[in-house]
Amino acid sequence: MIASNDRLKWPLSMVLVTIILVPVMAGLSEILLAAMGFIPALGQYSLSFDAWHQLIQMPGLGTSLRLTLVTGFGATAISLVMALVASCWLYDGLRGRWLRAAIVPILAAPHAAMAIGLAFLIAPSGWLARLFSPWLTGWHLPPDLAIVNDLAGLSLILGLVVKEVPFLLLVCLAALSRLSVAEHLKVAKSLGYQGADAWFKLVVPALYPLIRLPVFVVLVYSLSNVDMALILAPSTPPTLAVATMRWFYDADIQRLLPASAAAITLLVVMVLSVLVWEACVSMLGMLNRHSTQQGLRGTSWLLLQRLLVPTMLSLCLLGLLSLLVLIVWSLTWQWPYPNALPTVWSLRHWSQLLGDVLPASLAIALLTSCLASIMSIAWLQLQENAAQQGRFEWSKLTLWLIYVPLLVPQIAFLYGLKVSFLRVGINGGMGAVIWAHVLFVFPYVMLMLQGPWQAFDQRYVHVAASLSKPPWQQLWQVKIPLLLRPILLAWAVGIAVSISQYLATIMIGAGRIDTLTTEAISLASGADRRLTGMFGLLQLLIPLLAFVMAMLLPRMMYGHINQRAAP
């Protein structure tokens, strides 16, 4: 029986890895061959460096690369520091349920929806300018200021920070449950360290290894994002990821050469950025250990906390206002500047919207998140069974392969994946788009579900086994009801991730499948803020409803069980 189970687990683990790893490797290989000049579609069958020569000659390449590095590193560093300070503030008894509830809409909002709302909020003709004009600013017309799409990329950094701080804060709070924080703080207190000083000298060094992977995910996304950069970043020249996408879709098919070289360049930049980031973290760790060994004490960390906590709360408020302005614009018919609120409200354009966009988005998100949740449960159960039987399970060794799609720039392999799909006869249909979404949803679901699954009290399963329950009943009747809330929360995260996919939809779907995100981003550069606001609002509402269901359903179905037993 055990032998047959082993034979079953090996193919199942292999299937799960294949679903994720093979498409990424196929896409990267296609892009690499194209970057080396091998593009049969263009009649080029020999390897050369023409693509790299053309890339170097592209105007604005250096500026695009600088903008990418500044916004990526800047947003990640600011987000991480704020999340660490906020986790200290929340853990130190100053926590409030209102703050935890406030970050839920920001977490649920797709990046594009947040970027659209932020642009509506901080633009020269945005809501903030309207609220303070003309009585405070004296502006009767929108000022000629480059706030959104500024050349320094500050608005993009702001948008990334507003979106990523809640995510990293949630990751930090989850990781803290796996640490003996109270013991660390007792040791720090015995050494004379207090408050934020104790937190950063003893707790953070133990916390960072547990959140390293999510930090890498944030760094990679900040360096390679397209959806937020299209809305908030400058367009002449844009970030390297946006420039690469434009070259891929240029009317001149010869631009495929520099586009492929740019995609590989972005991948190399990503690898080097991760190495530089870790080198900086190691250097800071050495300085921290040196100051601790020397017994240095001061008020710098306390001052940093006092400065950044109000800033973090302001960013949270800014994020909520960005989402609120989407609601206002979606209900607007006339809103002349500088009125603080619309002069005419209306719902008439809602009936002219949607068509097949909403059903397609819902279908893709639901199917993708359900598939990713089932795959995650299967993978985690394989690992658990192997651990209980004292066997080495190879899936534990290859667990990090699941996160490869999050650690590789999307633009670096999605176009190659599209070519690979066409080679094997997979056209840009709904199934191909769902598969592409699974590549990104599955890692996030695993990231959310792995901690609760490993923290599950196995005594409940042992009791079920003592009652002669077969393994599938132990899973279905005992473990899943007890873990229903984290499972549904992971499923809701999958919904949010799927709804937010832009590149995976337009590239793999070949532009034939319209979703809320593709429509919202295409409208963001237009003049009709009402339509843009409606699509952005729908992008927010669907994940938000999923999170509400994830929190309410377990309480309604198994509330008496989950309150006592669930981790």
> Does residue 398 have a pLDDT over 70?
no
Q: How many CB atoms lie within 10 A of CB 186?
A: 13
Superfamily holding 49-344: MetI-like (1.10.3720.10)
The CA distance from 403 to 379, in Å, is 13
Superfamily holding 355-391+427-567: MetI-like (1.10.3720.10)
Mean pLDDT along residues 53-80: 95
Per-residue pLDDT of 351-390, as tens digits, reads 656 566 788 899 999 999 999 999 888 888 877 776 666 5
Averaged pLDDT of the chain: 84
Per-residue pLDDT of 480-526, as tens digits, reads 888 888 899 999 999 999 999 999 999 998 778 888 898 888 888 76
Residues 31-58 as b/e (b if ≥16 CB within 10 A, e otherwise) read: bbbbbbbbbeeeebeeeeebbbebbeeb
Per-residue pLDDT of 321-356, as tens digits, reads 999 999 999 888 889 888 989 998 887 777 656 566
- Is 355-391+427-567 in the same CATH topology as 49-344? yes
Per-residue pLDDT of 13-36, as tens digits, reads 666 677 888 899 999 999 999 999
Per-residue pLDDT of 150-171, as tens digits, reads 999 999 999 999 999 999 998 8
Q: Is 426 left (phi over 0), alpha (psi -120 to 50) or beta?
A: beta
Mean pLDDT along residues 392-421: 80
- Per-residue DSSP letter, 239: -
For the chain, give every domain's residue range: 49-344, 355-391+427-567
pLDDT reported for residue 565: 45
Per-residue pLDDT of 234-277, as tens digits, reads 988 899 999 999 999 888 888 999 999 999 999 999 999 999 99
Higher pLDDT, 457 or 500: 500
pLDDT reported for residue 299: 59
- Candidate from 20-24, 41-45, 101-105, 192-196 with smallest mean pLDDT: 192-196
